[in-house]
Amino acid sequence: MKRKLEVTELIFKIISYTLLTIFALGCLYPFVYAVSASISGAKAVDYNEIVLLPKDIQFEAFHRMFTDNMFWNSYSNTLFLTLYGTIWSLLYSILGAYALSKKRLLFRKAFNFFLVFTMWFSAGIVPQYLNYLATKAVFNGVGIMDDKWLVVIAMGMAAMNIILLRNAFEGVPSEIEEAAIVDGATEFQVLSTVYIPMSKSTIATVALFFAISRWNGYFWARQMISNSFEKPLQVFIRELLEQYRDAEFIAGWNEVYASDSVIYALIVCSIVPILIIYPFIQKYFAKGVNVGGVKE
């Protein structure tokens, strides 16, 4: 019987590792293809000769992209939206989760219900768009004309992340909070010296969620930001993709690189920052989701 269990376990591991390897390669292939297409020659890209490795290697597509001022402008806008958007979302999510984790909070059950209710039933695109227009009118009324701040503030809500933080805060032993209060700590001191340090894995995970969401944000950024100089990288890529076959764009085309190579180069540059940051946060990811996702 023990022998059979060992053989069965070995077969299970072989099948699992094989499937996971195939899945990992399937996820990695699009990025490898994008890199290869971005540095391959015009003929190889236009005639779909790229399968995995690049052909007729050139870096003119990257050179053209790096010399485009609009690329750097959109990149800086994306960094702005990601940095300040993540900070803003984390700030109010931590404060909201801390309040909702307290049983002494008046109408706590009702607040938690309404928070979860937004995950069950979404208002839809039209009401959300009208809400953003109303927020924009308020911003303009107080003299804030920068639409990037509208996207940062108006798009900060994420009920799932608040729930993850709330569950993590509820897992902090109440005895530690009581000891801090006896020592004279205020609510903000308890939050900053007790709850945040003891929930750093979940906070790091939620910060990663917010950062990726802001970095990849496209739809509402395109709808709400009217100034072309304030549009983020994802909108810039989409607009370039829509018009790169127009006569004006093709006029700058040459036989060294294909116009598609510029698009792939943009895609590669938009992915690289996340690839650099993710390994540093990955160690917190599994622990953060488990701690914040399970409520005892």
Placement of tokens 């308890």 in the chain: 190
pTM equals 0.80
Give me the pLDDT at residue 245, please. Answer: 57
Half-sphere exposure of 267 (CA within 13 A, CB side): 17
Using alpha carbons only, what angle is made at residue 121 by residues 117 and 126, rounded to the nearest 5 degrees? 125
Give me the pLDDT at residue 83, please. Answer: 92
Amino acid at 117: F
Which among 106, 80, 91, 111 is positioned nearest to 157, based on CA atoms? Answer: 91
Architecture of the 69-232+271-293 domain: Orthogonal Bundle (1.10)
Over the chain (296 residues), what is each successive 10-residue block's mean pLDDT? 70 89 89 90 83 86 86 91 92 90 86 85 78 78 75 82 88 84 85 87 86 86 83 86 59 65 87 80 60 47
Report residue 206 as tokens: 């939620």
Give me the pLDDT at residue 3, please. Answer: 66
- The domain limits of the chain are 69-232+271-293
Distance separating alpha carbons of residues 229 and 213, to the nearest angstrom: 21
